[in-house]
């Protein structure tokens, strides 16, 4: 097989583009962004992946990293763009060129480049960042109006600190352009000077239109500063300021602003809303210490996974006096945000569990941090707890799986050299990278990596590449075999072809790896493994009888065996024979493999057995299936919150957060759990081995002790 260069690993993500087609952009029903920097009315340019373009992009990236002159480096990207305009690589090159111009403070070229990118593809995956840098560049060259329109559009879709930053930048742009401030000041003055009720009403109406649709925070604050409460426009401006403070979670200024509003303008048409907003702000600190919320998709396409988690949560809280409030997110990020505000302001929940989905989790985590509500998420999204100290996570992640497999393979089994065969989808690419990092960090080496498309069903080429049988022209032994055939001077075409086929089959595989990591679904794994056997990759190393048969067949006394490793997607339901379908389909080719999971229903761990029995007893009448990872995670998460509430009895959200952060050695269905300094659930995962009788749990501690005892 080929030994990989250091740059090849950096191209794993690029392979994801070259082997798959770009998804067609969904049709827009809400209109295009109409900022001046993004012309509307023309269709976006449809692009496609192209392997040659991807290679050119990779070369340009390498050149740019080596070139300290950012403008020259940008030109290398633009050359790729010019050569391959209708490709994903071409658009990536355009984006990278814009970033380099921006960093070089060449704002005119940065603005032009980003404008071209957004004009062609407003749904480009880095469109938000491109628009942001385009707007900042516009400000630097004096195009304040264009900058203001783009920044305010971005701010409408942003959240938290990012939104606040964008609003501040938009305010700078508006100030530079002189937008709205003079119009608002004029309307306020007109309201104060009006002599008739009709003129006064018209002026106030104009103020309302400006503060609702055009004027920004700075304009409103300036217009309100020093304004007498006797001015008819004062209630409009004061209530608008209150709403802004509410959005910014500036509770002190919000309460001060609303209290003054109700004192000075108790009869205003906005007074009922002001009272409700003040009451809502006050309720944010009113906590019901025995109320816990859970955010799950209970309707819609994700309903089954929401129901699975909820079954576990309810079982975990069974017998307690904890009130559970279920919030249906419907898999909708906006509904998730609404649910977070409701549980904080209206329900008084002391903590919340969930959500599951990536976008929902990000929105919930941002709001949890803003509202200071402890949130125990159940999402796989890496880095979610970095949002802030009120965000916790209890879920099996890709990085945890890669870490567990690498640790077992290297520190228990003593393997040092690996290969990776992965599906070219985000899941496979991420796990390939994570595993690679873990192996290298432990002093090991990844000798090769091959990707395949997500819907592939034959793997002959990939298996050949792993053992160096695909590019035979690069091998000296093949060249020698060809010379031998040619030296025989065979004139018959049929006999010559047969001789070449024999020579090809006689080329020995280069198996210079001891373990092969395949992060894919069990269905695909059962198709991959037979292709490995065809290329003489011996994977059933734990079966002495089969090894002896192979030795006799091949005449090789010293067999190089390879252990297959996988992720929790290797877990499969039982088939007709009672064995896991992975084993039914993969047969002897998957025996002796090892994979990792966050839960194993047949585990001998006492806490896991207790959960499985309780679950079966609770749901047997419904004819339900055995619990899986989702049910177990829901159960453990609920039990963690329950244990904290019952043992430490916190009566504030801050106290609840502190108690959760200190959790150590909670013995649950998914393992003994502690929260680390990043509030991530740290636990020993389930390592599972496959033999001809089924799947068995590996006693990792026992194996480690045996290794230490042998002195290995």
Question: Does the pLDDT at position 19 exceed 60?
Answer: no
Query: What is the average pLDDT across 347-362?
Result: 95
Query: How many whole angstroms from its chain centre is CA 243?
Result: 32
Indicate the SS3 state at residue 180.
coil
Give the strand pairing for 323-328 and 375-377. unpaired
Quick one: 419 and 538 in the same domain? Answer: yes
Give the strand pairing for 391-393 and 375-377. parallel
Give the rounded percent of residues in the chain with a pLDDT score beyond 70: 88
Indicate the SS3 state at residue 491.
coil
pLDDT, residue 175, reads 54
- Residue 282 in tokens: 């006050």
Q: What is the CATH number of the domain that holds 550?
A: 3.40.50.2300
SS3 content of the chain, % helix, strand, coil (to 5): 55, 10, 30
Residue 41 located in a structural domain: no
Query: What is the average pLDDT across 635-652?
Result: 97
Q: What is the CATH number of the domain that holds 105?
A: 1.25.40.10
Residue 250 located in a structural domain: no
The position carrying tokens 């990779």 is 58
Residue 333 located in a structural domain: yes
Quick one: 464 and 504 in the same domain? Answer: no
Give the strand pairing for 594-597 and 686-691. antiparallel
Quick one: 116 and 96 in the same domain? Answer: yes
What span, in angstroms and rounded, lies between the C-alpha atoms of 121 and 127?
8
Quick one: 423 and 545 in the same domain? Answer: yes
Per-residue HEC secondary structure of 294-356 comes to EEECCCCCCHHHHHHHHHHHHHHHCCCCCEEEEEECCCCHHHHHHHHHHHHHCCCEEEEECCC
Question: Does the pLDDT at position 164 exceed 70?
Answer: no
Q: Which residue has the higher pLDDT, 42 or 498?
A: 498
pLDDT, residue 4, reads 38
Q: Where is average pLDDT lowest: 178-182, 370-374, 539-543, 628-632? A: 178-182
Across the strands, what pairs with 561? 538
pLDDT tens for 313-350 read: 999 999 999 999 999 999 999 999 999 999 998 899 99
Residue 47: phi and psi, rounded to 5, are: -120, 165
Quick one: 430 and 573 in the same domain? Answer: yes
Report angle CA 250, 254, 260 to the nearest 5 degrees: 155
Give the strand pairing for 563-566 and 375-377. unpaired
Give the strand pairing for 563-566 and 594-597. parallel
Other beta carbons within 10 Å of 347? 19
Q: Where is average pLDDT lowest: 154-158, 296-300, 672-676? A: 154-158
Residue 7 located in a structural domain: no
Across the strands, what pairs with 327? 295
pLDDT tens for 367-401 read: 999 889 999 999 999 999 999 999 999 999 999 99
Cβ atoms of residues 77 and 64 within 8 Å:
yes
Residue 151: phi and psi, rounded to 5, are: -65, -40
- Residue 373 in tokens: 């509500």
Q: Which of 238, 377, 398 is nearest to 309 (CA)?
A: 377
Other beta carbons within 10 Å of 238? 23
Question: Does the pLDDT at position 47 exceed 90?
Answer: no
Question: Does the pLDDT at position 5 exceed 50?
Answer: no
Q: Which of 418, 432, 423 is nearest to 455 (CA)?
A: 423
Indicate the SS3 state at residue 135.
helix
Question: Does the pLDDT at position 64 exceed 60?
Answer: yes
DSSP state of 628: -
Question: Does the pLDDT at position 604 exceed 80?
Answer: yes
Residue 265 located in a structural domain: no
pLDDT, residue 7, reads 38
Quick one: 169 and 196 in the same domain? Answer: yes
Cβ atoms of residues 48 and 29 within 8 Å:
no
Q: Where are the alpha helices (DSSP H) in 408-458?
A: 426-441
In order of 249, 255, 370, 510, the CA distances from 242 in angstroms are 10, 8, 17, 71
Q: Where is average pLDDT lowest: 102-106, 570-574, 699-703? A: 699-703
Cβ atoms of residues 52 and 59 within 8 Å:
no
Long-range contacts of 196-202 (CB under 8 A, 24+ apart): 200/232
Question: Does the pLDDT at position 179 exceed 70?
Answer: no
DSSP state of 51: H
Question: Does the pLDDT at position 641 exceed 90?
Answer: yes
Residue 255 located in a structural domain: no
Report the chain's mean pLDDT, rounded to a whole number: 86
pLDDT, residue 555, reads 61
What span, in angstroms and rounded, lies between the C-alpha atoms of 497 and 194?
101
Quick one: 390 and 422 in the same domain? Answer: no
Query: What is the average pLDDT across 95-107?
Result: 92
Structural domain ending residue among the three candidates 595, 624, 648? 595
What span, in angstroms and rounded, lies between the C-alpha atoms of 435 and 431?
6
Q: What is the DSSP string of 233-245?
A: THHHHHHHHHHHH
DSSP state of 671: E
What span, in angstroms and rounded, lies between the C-alpha atoms of 269 and 117?
47
Cβ atoms of residues 398 and 427 within 8 Å:
yes
Across the strands, what pairs with 681? 675
In order of 253, 410, 656, the CA distances from 291 in angstroms are 29, 45, 12
Question: Does the pLDDT at position 306 exceed 80?
Answer: yes
pLDDT tens for 473-500 read: 777 777 777 777 777 777 777 777 777 7
Question: Does the pLDDT at position 638 exceed 50?
Answer: yes
Residue 601: phi and psi, rounded to 5, are: -65, -25
pLDDT tens for 230-239 read: 999 999 999 9
Quick one: 659 and 617 in the same domain? Answer: yes
What span, in angstroms and rounded, lies between the C-alpha atoms of 440 and 550?
32
What span, in angstroms and rounded, lies between the C-alpha atoms of 282 and 384?
29
Q: What is the DSSP string of 466-478?
A: HTT-S-GGG-HHH
Question: Does the pLDDT at position 178 exceed 80?
Answer: no
In order of 33, 220, 684, the CA distances from 612 in angstroms are 52, 60, 18
Q: Where is average pLDDT lowest: 196-210, 260-274, 582-596? A: 196-210
Q: List b or e across 602-636, with b for residues whose CB sees 16 or more CB atoms inside 10 angstroms.
A: ebebebbeebbebbeeebeeeeeeebbbbbbbbbb
pLDDT tens for 243-285 read: 988 888 788 899 999 999 999 999 999 999 999 889 888 888 8
Rg value, the chain, Cα: 32
Quick one: 587 and 446 in the same domain? Answer: yes
Query: How many whole angstroms from its chain centre is CA 201?
Result: 51
Indicate the SS3 state at residue 650.
coil
Question: Does the pLDDT at position 9 exceed 90?
Answer: no
pLDDT, residue 24, reads 36
- Torsion sign across C-alpha atoms 336, 342, 347, 351: positive
pLDDT tens for 413-467 read: 999 999 999 999 999 999 999 999 999 999 999 999 999 998 899 999 999 999 8
Q: How confident is the model at residue 551 (pLDDT cuts 50, 70, 90)?
A: low
Structural domain ending residue among the three candidates 214, 243, 272? 243
Quick one: 91 and 188 in the same domain? Answer: yes
Structural domain ending residue among the three candidates 595, 611, 636? 595
What span, in angstroms and rounded, lies between the C-alpha atoms of 48 and 181?
46
Residue 573 located in a structural domain: yes
Question: Does the pLDDT at position 698 exceed 50?
Answer: yes
The H or E element spanning position 480 is helix 476-487
Backbone φ/ψ region at 252: left (φ over 0), alpha (ψ -120 to 50), beta: alpha
Structural domains in the chain (count): 4
Residue 305 located in a structural domain: yes
pLDDT, residue 328, reads 97
Quick one: 296 and 163 in the same domain? Answer: no
Cβ atoms of residues 395 and 378 within 8 Å:
yes
pLDDT, residue 487, reads 74
The position carrying tokens 């005119």 is 108
pLDDT, residue 670, reads 97
Query: What is the average pLDDT across 79-84?
Result: 89
Query: What is the average pLDDT across 171-176?
Result: 64
What span, in angstroms and rounded, lies between the C-alpha atoms of 310 and 307?
5
Q: Which residue has the higher pLDDT, 281 or 287?
A: 287
Question: Does the pLDDT at position 42 exceed 70?
Answer: no
Host domain of residue 627: 289-396+598-679
Quick one: 641 and 517 in the same domain? Answer: no
What span, in angstroms and rounded, lies between the C-alpha atoms of 313 and 634?
5
Taking the whole predicted model, whether its pTM rises above 0.85 is answered as no
Question: Does the pLDDT at position 2 exceed 50?
Answer: no
């Amino acid at each position: 097989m080929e030994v990989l260069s250091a740059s090849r690993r950096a191209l794993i993500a690029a392979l994801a583009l070259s082997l798959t087609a770009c998804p067609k952009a969904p049709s827009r029903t809400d209109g295009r962004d109409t900022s001046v920097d993004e012309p509307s009315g023309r269709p976006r340019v449809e692009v496609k992946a192209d392997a040659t373009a991807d290679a050119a992009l990779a070369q340009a990236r390498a050149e740019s990293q080596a070139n300290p002159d950012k403008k020259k480096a940008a030109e290398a990207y633009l050359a790729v763009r010019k050569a391959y305009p209708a490709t994903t690589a071409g658009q990536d090159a355009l984006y990278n060129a814009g970033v380099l111009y921006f960093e070089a403070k060449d704002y005119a070229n940065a603005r032009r480049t980003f404008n071209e990118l957004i004009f062609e593809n407003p749904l480009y995956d880095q469109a938000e960042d491109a628009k942001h840098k385009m707007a900042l560049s516009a400000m630097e060259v004096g195009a304040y109006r264009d900058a203001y329109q783009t920044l305010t559009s971005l701010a409408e879709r942003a959240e938290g600190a990012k939104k606040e930053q964008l609003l501040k930048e938009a305010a700078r742009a508006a100030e530079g352009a002189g937008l709205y401030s003079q119009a608002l000041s004029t309307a306020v003055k007109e309201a104060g000077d009006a002599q008739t009720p009709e003129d006064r009403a018209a002026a106030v109406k104009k103020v309302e239109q400006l503060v609702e649709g055009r004027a920004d925070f700075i304009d409103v604050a300036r217009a309100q500063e020093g304004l007498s409460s006797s001015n008819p426009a004062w209630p409009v401006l004061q209530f608008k300021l209150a709403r802004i403070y509410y959005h910014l979670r500036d509770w002190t200024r919000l309460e001060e602003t609303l209290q003054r509003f109700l004192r000075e303008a108790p009869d205003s048409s906005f007074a009922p809303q002001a009272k409700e907003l003040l009451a809502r702000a006050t309720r944010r600190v009113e906590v019901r210490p025995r109320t816990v919320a859970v955010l799950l998709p209970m309707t819609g396409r994700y309903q089954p996974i929401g129901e699975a988690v909820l079954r576990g949560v309810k079982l975990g809280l069974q017998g307690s006096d904890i009130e559970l409030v279920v919030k249906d997110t419907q898999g909708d990020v906006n509904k998730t945000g609404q649910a977070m505000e409701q549980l904080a302001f209206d329900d008084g929940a002391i903590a919340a569990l969930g959500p599951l989905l990536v976008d929902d989790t990000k929105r919930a985590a941002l709001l949890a941090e803003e509202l200071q509500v402890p949130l125990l998420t159940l999402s796989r999204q890496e880095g979610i707890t970095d949002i802030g100290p009120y965000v916790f996570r209890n879920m099996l992640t890709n990085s945890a799986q890669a870490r567990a497999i690498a640790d077992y393979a290297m520190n228990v089994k003593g393997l040092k050299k690996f290969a990776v065969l992965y599906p070219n989808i985000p899941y496979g690419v991420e796990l390939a990278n994570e595993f690679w990092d873990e192996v290298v960090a432990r002093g090991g080496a990844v000798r090769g990596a091959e990707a395949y498309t997500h819907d592939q069903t034959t793997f002959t080429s990939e298996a050949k590449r792993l053992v160096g049988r695909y590019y035979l022209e690069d091998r000296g032994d093949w060249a020698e075999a060809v010379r031998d055939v040619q030296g025989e001077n065979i004139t018959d075409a049929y006999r010559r072809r047969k001789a070449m086929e024999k020579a090809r089959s006689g080329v020995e595989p280069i198996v210079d790896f001891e373990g092969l990591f395949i992060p894919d679904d069990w269905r695909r794994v059962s198709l991959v493994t037979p292709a490995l056997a065809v290329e003489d990759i011996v994977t059933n190393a734990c079966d002495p009888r089969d090894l002896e048969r192979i030795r006799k067949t091949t005449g090789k006394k010293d067999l190089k065996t390879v252990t297959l490793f996988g992720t929790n997607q290797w877990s499969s339901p039982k088939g007709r024979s009672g064995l896991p379908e992975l084993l039914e389909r993969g047969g002897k080719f998957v025996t002796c493999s090892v994979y990792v999971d966050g839960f194993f229903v047949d585990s001998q761990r006492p806490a896991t057995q207790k959960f499985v029995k309780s679950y079966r007893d609770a749901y047997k009448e419904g004819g339900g299936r055995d619990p899986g990872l989702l049910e177990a995670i829901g159960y453990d998460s609920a039990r963690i919150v329950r244990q904290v509430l019952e043992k430490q009895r916190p009566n504030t959200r801050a106290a609840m957060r502190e108690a959760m952060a200190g959790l150590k050695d909670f013995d649950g269905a998914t393992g003994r759990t502690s929260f680390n300094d990043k509030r991530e659930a740290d636990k020993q995962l389930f390592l599972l081995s496959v033999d001809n009788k089924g799947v068995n749990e590996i006693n990792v501690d026992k194996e480690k002790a045996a290794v230490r005892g042998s002195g290995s």
